[in-house]
Structure 1
């Protein structure tokens, strides 16, 4: 199975890459300097990018990406900036509980409506100060357990332990190559899964993006250019899921595929009578991207990129902790999923693989090393990191050239 080789970069090299990536621009207090301390994540992220290049070269068409540019893509389209203890997108917030920090991610109207139930009191959903006060009297485990039961994306800082690899593999066996170009059925949405599918399309796979006509990919509601960047190389199919005829058509697509990418909670596939174990036994690889794992008690927990990263410990330490980048668990998990998927296809293997946003983030944090400390200084209208050979400017996010189809301008 694919192994990730760590990159031997010194702190100045990490800080230089971090400053130029766009992610540093998104990290730190809203009204203060960007933070250089998480720059060590350059090492494991470059290791993941190297694993992708190795796997895709064996698959037939080598794909090389700048993993940090990948992590700042969305903000290049949205114009997000750093926001301190609130995520760049504005939906996730650090909150003090009785024994530690938690993050609440509330991107949906129903999330805000559930806050009174979370704190166990009939407080107005918009009374944030009172809600914070109630949470301050609760233990972290209580906040996470109750929030998870309510379907909220909530996590304690650093609650997820680091795995040996940014993915887990089970049910490994021989695959069946059905055509010249591997066929990938992409059932994912938003960011992490579409990144993986887009990179596999870049590697020469035939990627079929399947959406429900009643619930299309939520990324379609965001910047059109970002959606095109992630999905422009794929074929697209809309099915009337969960109608029985559409589910049967989906089963047939999966039966003809070399690999399935999916990011739903396990119960969704169970409702459609689609069993990943049986799919793998028939010779089709199955790569799941989940919030907190496909197995175990957290398999149905909700997670998004910001809260999952916090659970994995990707924060700037402090009171309160600060978010690192924009939903950075999404591109991390997407890069990991693409790497292991390409390796399976190159080997002609069928396996069931789980890439957890929280665990992949914890793996990156574990291999980042100690926080990096370098002076960050004002330079006119911007910022620069002082390194041994001089200052390096901190760049805002920019869409990387040549990753996938150039984005279309938003109307």
Structure 2
């Protein structure tokens, strides 16, 4: 997944700057932190964090100076209050709880309603679509998927063959259609804090009670108000490399996203042995932490012909960036609203 994304974006390693350029690893008074500035509003929020006016095009010098004089805990507290994707780098000490007993299940023909955006949730939906599920992507008029503004080829890869629905939850007719769409779903994917869909009148617990699978992808679990993106969440969870001077370096490109998306798809393609519905509460930071061990990570080396990684189970070649074609047509936002509602016998708003 990382290799084919690199083929589309051209991103490469940049040390303490994320591959996409929107996140930095910066020293704090008691360690290191990962700080993102990915959204158009983030520079102003970083200014609020440091209580100064910052340059919208380059907020980093002032932010770096503030961090150097404050502890990671100070950053974490303020970042949560201001909805900034930033956190100190640490290693989790408690592993996530083990799921209840599962068995594999086919998803061919199941209806997936995907409210997610960016990469983790859409990757889960993409893999389910490749396995035969019908995927309906849902957006609202004022909150389209931000990935539409990113690399168009990568967006097409994740959404090829999916249907696109746009419904307005600010209108009672739109809310009724959203509710009916969720009622029809076998699988629901969301990647926002729970209050967002609750505000639309959608109830995850009710969907699970009737037997649906609900995938909730958040930065730090449904009980947390923390936000985050793939780069800062992975680094803050401890997934970093170490430079010769001991400073942290980014690993991969927004790597918490593909780790979470692949894991979510694997979980959805399983089912509780008692046949009940299930809510998968996926904390991206906890999931990243669960992949880490106390053993040193293998280091890629050049064999004379290709980059390889030597592991306990043998030599693994490092994949060169290679594009993959979308699995089907990529719909314009909202293009399938009428047809999806009609085939599911839902009244149009």
Shorter-chain TM-score above 0.5: yes
Name the TM tier (shorter chain): 0.7 to 0.9
Aligned residue for 1:324?
251
Tell me the matched-pair count. Answer: 321
**Matched residues in 1 for 2:309 and 2:279: separation?**
46
Q: Take 1:386 and 1:71, find their aligned partners in 2: how far apart are those partners?
A: 16
CA distance in 2: counterparts of 1:258 and 1:136, whole angstroms: 49
SS at match of 1:349: coil
Kindly tell me: are residues 154 and 256 of structure 1, through their superposed partners in 2, closer, same or farther at Cα, counting changes over 3 Å? same
RMSD: 3.1
CA deviation map 1:383-403 (0-9, x unaligned): 745869xx99755422357xx
Separation (CA, whole Å) in 1 of partners of 2:309 and 2:5:
27
Determine the C-alpha separation between the residues in 2 that align with 1:386 and 1:280. 42
Secondary structure of the corresponding residue to residue 397 of structure 1: coil
The one of 256, 279, 302 aligned to 2:207: 279
Q: Which of the numbers 135, 144, 157 marks the counterpart of 1:207? A: 135
Counterpart position of 1:25:
none
Q: Look up the match of 1:343.
A: 270
- Structure 1 residue ranges without an equivalent (≥5): 1-69
CA deviation string 1:5-44 (max 9, x = no partner)? xxxxxxxxxxxxxxxxxxxxxxxxxxxxxxxxxxxxxxxx
Paired with 1:207 and 1:336, the residues of 2 have a C-alpha distance of: 18
Equivalent-residue separation in structure 1 for 2:121 and 2:108 (angstroms):
23
What does residue range 238-277 of structure 1 map to in structure 2 within 5 Å? Answer: 238-277=166-205
User: In structure 2, which of residues 297, 318, 321 is the aligned counterpart of residue 397 of structure 1?
Assistant: 321
- Residues 45-80 of structure 1, C-alpha deviations (whole Å, 9 max, x = no match): xxxxxxxxxxxxxxxxxxxxxxxxx23332221111
What is the CA-CA distance between 1:313 and the residue it aligns to?
1.3
Which of the two has greater helix per residue? Answer: 1
Output aligned runs, 1:355-394, within 5 Å.
355-366=282-293, 369-373=295-299, 376=301, 384-385=307-308
Name the structure 1 match of 2:236. 311
Unpaired runs of 5+ residues, structure 2, are 331-349
Taking the aligned partners of 2:200 and 2:309, their CA distance within structure 1 comes to 56
TM-score (norm 1): 0.70
Q: Kindly state the Cα deviation for residue 122 of structure 1 after the two structures are TM-superposed.
A: 4.9
By relative contact order (CA 8 Å, sep 6+), the higher-ranking structure is 1
Say whether 1:301 aligns with 2:226.
Answer: yes
What CA distance in whole angstroms lies between the structure 2 residues aligned with 1:266 and 1:188?
A: 12
